[in-house]
Amino acid sequence: MIKKILIANRGEIAVRIIRTCKELGIKTVAIYSTADKSSLHVELADEAYCVGGPRPEDSYLNIPAILSAAEISNVDAIHPGYGFLAENPSFAEIVEACGYIFIGPSYKAIELMGNKINARKLAKELGIPVVPGFEHIKTLEEARKVANEIGYPILIKAACGGGGRGIKIVYEEKDLENTLNIAMKEAKNAFGSEEIFIEKYIEEPKHIEVQILGDLHGKIIALGERECSLQRRHQKLLEEAPSPFVNENLREKLYKYAKKIASHINYHTLGTVEFIVDKNKNPYFIEMNTRVQVEHPVTEMVIDEDLIAWQILTAMGEKITIEDKIPYGHAIEFRINAEDPFKNFMPAIGKIEKLVLPGGYNTRVDTHIYQGYEIPPYYDSMLAKIIVKGKNRKEALKRGFRALNELKIEGKNIKTTKELFLKLYNFKEFLNGNYHTKFLEKNLEKILLN
């Protein structure tokens, strides 16, 4: 039994985990940086400990300080949330070596799937389609040869990348050398490794992911797919479940591939297997995220299950008592970021002087903000997630429009992505679900001026 959990994270995901823990009768311990002393997760937890200064490397990435807080508070388990240390295999290994339960997969699974080259090789070995390309590119000559073989445009991707980072598109050979150098340098700075690989760039694909859940007894289930194609610079802004693009045949394929790769690595806990899908509904494996996703609430809304609860229960050794699920109804998640869409998404931080959060039937808000909250400049810009559900996509869109109009986050210099989402409602491609991963970037100016 787990009686007390330390949450090695901040913001809305820390609040989300605390709420489920309270419902399960589990005590919670929050950690916080000096910049987050007044954050909501600190208020809601049973105990809270400062682990360092405002910079992530001094606090939320400070493994010795986090483990010290775990020891002082005498916890049984540590939940990493998403981001920060959630996909750090060394952290997972150290947590377990110190005698705590890591609420996530084994460090070996994190290590294997965290390297996109290794994950890609495994998928190929299992007969799962991957985008044409080559691994272990080290020189310009190798890159040029590969690009000529598969044809431009190409994607240069960091082997250890994540969260949409470490990806560069090359349309013509004249841009290859400079882009390759930039990509390798960025990969080294961001992920500690300049290892990259090259894939054929598929024009205007859909980004579809499958939510999976495994237990320590070898059972793996699939809990629906999510549409994540509305992106900016490979960063997701809006997610839907189910995907308006996916039919029964494609869903069956995606479930089979996702469960196959998870079963092969003896995966347990929550995880997400991600694919891009071309216009002809051909899926290609791209990566596996070995953690809870930001967008997990849209899945919860259409399968009526608490995924965080299942994550904790499976970590305790309990068996999964549900089967594969097909989404029921339709849910949409809007990420409300502290960014100004009209100024190239420039961060817009400050004190929240007025806050009105939407409510009503089938409307959910996951957030850590409150009136008077000071938005810190050190972390991810996401302030809230508005999740709505309808009997179908049309109803969910109407409910989303109403909820967005209710939302008010006001203060000096504060701008959010709310205005962008409202303007999307003027575009039939969005209303019809006919958008792709480049839709926003190709139409942003037109959307904002509409």
User: What's the full length of the chain, in residues?
Assistant: 450
Q: Are 266 and 220 in contact (CB under 8 A)?
A: no
Q: What does the angle CA 207 – CA 210 – CA 211 come to, to the nearest 5 degrees?
A: 135
Which two three-digit tokens encode residue 324? 């594969």
Distance CA 400, CA 431 (A): 12
Which two three-digit tokens encode residue 53? 């200064």
Over the range 237-253, which residues count as b (16 or more CB within 10 Å of their CB) and which as e? bbbbbbbebbeeebbeb
Which two three-digit tokens encode residue 56? 């992530």
SS3 365: strand
First-last CA distance in the chain: 55
Place of tokens 């003896």: 266
Distance CA 243, CA 247 (A): 9
Torsion, CA 445, CA 228, CA 132, CA 151, rounded to 10: -10
Taking alpha carbons only, the member of 216, 226, 234, 281 closest to residue 258 is 226
The number of beta carbons lying within 10 Å of the beta carbon of residue 322 is 12
HEC per residue, 256-286: HHHHHHHHHCCCCEEEEEEEEECCCCCEEEE
Q: Are 198 and 144 in contact (CB under 8 A)?
A: no
Place of tokens 């849209």: 298
Distance CA 12, CA 22 (A): 15
Distance CA 444, CA 450 (A): 10
- DSSP string of 284-352, one letter each residue: EEEEEE-S--TTHHHHHHHHT--HHHHHHHHHTTPPP--------SEEEEEEEESEEGGGTTEE---B-
Torsion, CA 269, CA 196, CA 231, CA 235, rounded to 10: 60
Place of tokens 């809006």: 238
Q: Tell me which residues are annotated as active site.
A: 291
